[in-house]
């Protein structure tokens, strides 16, 4: 089972700013809950959700270094948790994109640059990967329109 931190408060601050986080973590009607508690709960919830997908992809050990793209996606999930019932379109879209990306990682764990099961770094030849600009299914309909 994956354990360890995927993101930190500092990661969220760099991505979304201290002002937004302060606004989202303040609970004026509940003085027993501190902003740090709210932020930590959002981080834990986001990591728990991401870890479910990572386990399904075959990752069982903590990452020595968390891939930058994974940090971005987990930050987007944590932000979604912080917004609670007041999620705006951008936050919702980024959350859905993060979940979609994690589902893709389940199908292709090498997207993280590691091999699943042992979390060994993938060996990369010096080649360049070329990604087509159009989905494969569009190539079949070229010239029909």
87 torsion bin: left (phi>0), alpha (psi -120 to 50), beta (else): beta
Domain extent, residue 63, equals 9-112
Q: What is the pLDDT of residue 115?
A: 57
Tokens 């190539």 sit at which residue? 139
Tokens 């996606």: give the residue. 73
Taking residues 40-47, report their average pLDDT.
96
Q: Is residue 2 part of a domain?
A: no
pLDDT at 3: 59
Residue 3 lies inside a defined structural domain of this protein: no
pLDDT of residue 64: 87
Whether residue 98 is predicted with pLDDT greater than 50 in this model: the reply is yes
At 28, the pLDDT band (50, 70, 90 cuts) reads confident
Q: For 61-70, 83-92, 124-133, which range has the lowest pLDDT when averaged over its residues? A: 124-133
Residue 122: inside a domain? no
- Say if 24 falls within a structural domain: yes
Number of domains in the chain: 1
Using alpha carbons, list the distances in angstroms from residue 2 to 10, 64, 71, 82, 104: 21, 11, 15, 23, 18
On whether residue 105 sits in a domain, the answer given is yes
Is 46 inside a domain boundary? Answer: yes
Let me know if residue 36 belongs to a domain.
Answer: yes
Q: Is residue 138 part of a domain?
A: no
Mean confidence (pLDDT) of the chain: 81
């Amino acid at each position: 089972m994956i354990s360890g931190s995927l993101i930190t408060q500092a990661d969220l601050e760099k991505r979304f700013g201290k002002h937004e986080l302060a606004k989202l973590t303040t609970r004026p009607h509940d003085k027993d809950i501190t902003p740090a508690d709210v932020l930590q709960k959002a981080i834990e919830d986001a990591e728990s959700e991401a870890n479910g997908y990572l386990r399904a992809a075959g990752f069982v050990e903590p990452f020595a270094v968390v891939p930058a793209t994974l940090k971005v996606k987990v930050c987007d999930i944590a932000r979604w948790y912080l917004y609670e019932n007041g999620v705006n379109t951008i936050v919702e879209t980024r959350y859905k994109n993060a979940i979609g990306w994690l589902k893709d990682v389940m199908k292709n764990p090498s997207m993280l640059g590691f091999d699943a099961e042992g979390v060994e770094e993938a060996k990369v030849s010096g080649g360049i990967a070329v990604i087509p600009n159009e989905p494969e299914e569009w190539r079949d309909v070229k010239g029909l329109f």
